[in-house]
Chain A
Amino acid sequence: MAVVQPSSPATPYRITGSFVLAARQFPRHRAAMVGLVLLVLICLAAALAPWIAPYDPVQIKLSAKLKPPSFEHLLGTDHFGRDVFSRLIYGGRTSLSVGVLVVVFAFVLGVPLGLASGYFGGRIDNLLMRLVDAFLTFPPLLLAVALVGLLGPDIQNVMLALGLVQAPVLARIVRGSTLAVREDVYVTAARALGAGPARIVLSHILRNVMSPIVVQLTIVFSAAVVAEASLSFLGFGTQPPQPSWGRDMSEARRFLGDAPWMFMAPTGIIMLCVLSINFLGDGLRDALDPRAWRTRRQLSKGEG
């Protein structure tokens, strides 16, 4: 029971949380804000596809095939006369969820592996890293194909397989950074204050290795969207006529000369997504690292 003095506010000892501070920092990064806005728009479009898309994405209309962009078909039509714009909007549902879920899988699998390996070292490190090495010896796409073959050609399995393929790379990166951070004096200092391995890894090391993780995850996202295309092309993953950016892109290659819009639309949107995510990752990295904050403020004032 605290007696609240009338002169002092009820919560005089509140500290602004570091996440609030980071969140305040984020909008200062212009490119990241642009990335965020674009990404939100793309996601919204995918989510609201049935209300936004002007046509049914799988409706075949051979009389209108390979039409160039016009007011009727904003991005033209493909070789079955399907509206490219509508396919783009619907395809986002597959491609974005593949990207996001692969990132989540890679994070959930790779980060704990890397942290454990880097922090505990010794035998655990040896064991985990040999396992990771074994995964890395396979060409990534082949491994994904094998996994999907094993699990069945289902879009969820594609995500799982791509996550499994990306996790070892992430684990290696996290391990490397952890090895470096582990030797920092503040880790010894935390141990000298009675912190156990869990606290040290989660509250001291993880925060300090977030930058390389975020950067790698933006790469994983891009790789996943493209890999889904390759897997779909090979007949795994999304099955025709279901739209997906990657699939539409590879299908459009046959008509590159006659209907370049068919190819440019999905390629453009993938590029836009990857670019937005990279900007976003940049901003996140800076927002999560307090040491980068002052510099930014100085830059915006024209000092630096």
Chain B
Amino acid sequence: MPLLSVRNLQTRFATDRGIVRAVNGVSFDLEEGEVLGLVGESGSGKSVTALSIMRLVPEPPGKVTADSLTLEGTDLLRLSEADAREIRGSRMAMIFQDPMRSLNPVLTIGRQLTEVLRRHQKLSGTAARRRAIELLETVGIPMAEKRLAAYPHQFSGGMRQRVMIAIALSCNPRLLIADEATTALDVTIQAQIIDLVKRLQRERGTSVIWISHDLGVVAGLCDRVNVMYAGNVVETAPIRELFHRPSHGYTLGLMGSTPRVDGSGTARLTPIEGMPPNLIDPIPLCPFLPRCRVSVPACQARPPERREFGVGHWASCLADLAK
């Protein structure tokens, strides 16, 4: 049984101009200890997918439905808000993009760490502090004991993200969702954080959903990738497969617009022209069609079906890109 199972997840938001289908039928499984990348441009539904799994979508105006959404057999959508709170932070946790803003500026690091430990593991003051120090040491913060009394503004961005990771992992969650966790950091710090997550993930066997728009980061970290576009998973593949045989026009476009260190120096980046579709209007055909460079005549006639391109490699694309 997979750790997390998502079937036909739909998240909609009621707005003045109509219903926005931010997530429109996402399905995937996440195995124990697996690192899954969620890739796509802004507005493709990555973050909303994560928030829906965490049950953090405000309802109303949001509305989350799914044929099934289970974590270790627990039906997440059936949970009461109080039960969802028990699970958040203990069985699943999330880290956010901007470490400058995801820690409370007026509370000490120690307070924010121990709060979670007291909440979920019912640790006493001293035990919680001892555990907090261990956690800070685990994520590589020197002089952890002293740093407990420090405030977020006394840390650099990278250190803050380490603290966030320590807080998120404090109760040994089975699932960690990282939403653009390294996007706000500079490249060297980004590499450190990725190494840290990799190490902790391996040591603890945590499953990770890593949300990013950076294919390079995903390539270095993930076992498998879901490429999202317009609220849908348009391609899913093991990481090597994806880079060797991208099978969706959008994946191809993403790769064309990503700089490569080992590529020929003169190669120009090819941007994806146009804009993502408006998610209020119904999209009868392939949502990427208007921007696609590899479309075939069949694309104008019918919506693409999911087709298998290899072991665990599926894409909703009518063009045969491998040939």
Chain A interface residues toward B at CB < 8 A = 2, 11-16, 18, 21, 184-186, 188-196, 199, 203-204, 207-208, 288-291, 293-294
In the bound assembly, the distance between CA atoms of A220 and B90 in angstroms comes to 44
B148–A193 CB distance below 8 A: no
Instruction: Report chain A residues within 8 Å CB of B168.
Output: 193
Partner of A192, one of B54, B82, B119, B145: B54
B115 within 8 A of partner (CB): yes
Shortest CB–CB separation between residue A243 and chain B, in angstroms? 42
Taking the complex as formed, is B88 at the interface, i.e. its CB lies under 8 A from any CB of chain A?
Answer: yes
Q: Is B261 an interface residue (CB 8 A)?
A: no
Taking CB atoms and an 8 Å cut-off, the chain B residues in 101-145 that contact chain A are 101-108, 110-111, 115-116, 119-120, 126, 129-130, 133, 145
**Residue A290 contacts which of B94, B145, B151 (CB distance < 8 angstroms)?**
B151
- Contact partner of B119 among A2, A16, A194, A289, CB < 8 A? A194
Interface status of B56 (Cβ within 8 A of chain A)? yes
The answer to whether residues A203 and B107 also contact, given A193-B119, A290-B151 and a CB cut-off of 8 A, is yes
Residues of A within 8 A of B85 (CB): 194-196
Q: B98: nearest residue on chain A (CB-CB)?
A: A185
Give chain B's interface residues, CB within 8 Å of chain A: 54, 56, 82, 85-90, 93-98, 101-108, 110-111, 115-116, 119-120, 126, 129-130, 133, 145, 148-149, 151, 153-154, 164, 167-168
Chain B contacts of A291 at CB under 8 A? Answer: 105-106, 151, 153
Q: Are the C-beta atoms of B89 and A15 separated by less than 8 Å?
A: no
Residues of A within 8 A of B89 (CB): 192-195
A203 x B102 contact (CB < 8 A) = no
In whole Å, how far is B152's beta carbon from the nearest beta carbon of chain A?
Answer: 8
Q: Given A13-B145, A208-B105, A290-B151, are A194 and B96 neighbors across the interface (CB < 8 Å)?
A: no
- Residues of chain B contacted by A191 (CB below 8 angstroms): 56, 88
**Complex contacts, A16 vs chain B, CB 8 Å:** 149
Residues of A within 8 A of B119 (CB): 193-195, 199
Docked-complex contact B98 and A15, CB < 8 angstroms:
no
- Verify B149–A192 contact, CB threshold 8 A: no
Question: Considering only CB atoms, which chain A residue lies closest to B177 in the complex?
Answer: A192
Nearest B residue (CB) for A192: B94
- Whether A194 touches B120, Cβ cut-off 8 Å, given contacts A186-B102, A294-B153, is yes
Establish whether residues A185 and B96, one from each chain, have CB atoms under 8 Å apart when the complex forms. yes
Inter-chain contact A189/B164, CB cutoff 8 Å? yes
Q: Which of B94, B107, B167 contacts A18 (CB 8 A)?
A: B107
Closest residue on chain B to residue A191 by CB atoms: B56
| Contact partners of A195 in chain B: CB under 8 A | 85, 89, 115, 119
Q: Which residue of A lies closest to B128 (CB)?
A: A13
The CB with the most chain B CB atoms within 10 A, among A188, A194, A289, is that of A194
CB-CB under 8 A for A290 and B153, given A13-B145, A190-B104, A193-B167:
yes
B126 touches A194 (CB 8 A): no
Given contacts A192-B89, A194-B120, is CB(A11)–CB(B102) below 8 Å? no
Closest CB of chain A to B150's CB: distance in Å? Answer: 9
Is there an interface contact between A188 and B96, defined as CB atoms closer than 8 Å? yes
Q: Are B106 and A192 in contact (CB under 8 A)?
A: no
8 Å CB contact of B130 from A13, A18, A196, A293: A13
Partner of B149, one of A21, A203, A293: A21
- Inter-chain contact A186/B111, CB cutoff 8 Å: no
Measured between beta carbons, the chain A residues less than 8 angstroms from B102 are: 185-186, 188-189
20 more CB-based (< 8 A) A-B contacts, given A185-B97, A193-B88, A194-B86: A11-B126, A13-B126, A13-B129, A13-B133, A15-B110, A15-B111, A15-B148, A185-B101, A188-B56, A189-B103, A193-B89, A193-B93, A194-B88, A195-B119, A196-B85, A207-B106, A207-B107, A289-B106, A290-B106, A291-B151
**A185 CA / B110 CA spacing, docked (Å):** 19
- The interface residues of chain A lying within 8 Å CB-to-CB of B145 are 12-13
Q: Report A-chain residues with C-beta under 8 Å of the C-beta of B133.
A: 13
Q: Which 3 A-B pairs have the closest CB atoms?
A: A194-B89, A193-B89, A13-B129
Indicate whether A15 sits within 8 Å of B103 (C-beta atoms), given known contacts A192-B89, A194-B116. no
13 contacts between A and B (CB under 8 A): A14-B129, A15-B110, A15-B111, A16-B149, A188-B56, A189-B96, A192-B54, A193-B89, A193-B115, A194-B88, A195-B119, A196-B85, A290-B153
- Alpha-carbon separation in the docked complex, A288 to B87 (Å): 33
Contact B104 A186, beta carbon cutoff 8 Å? yes
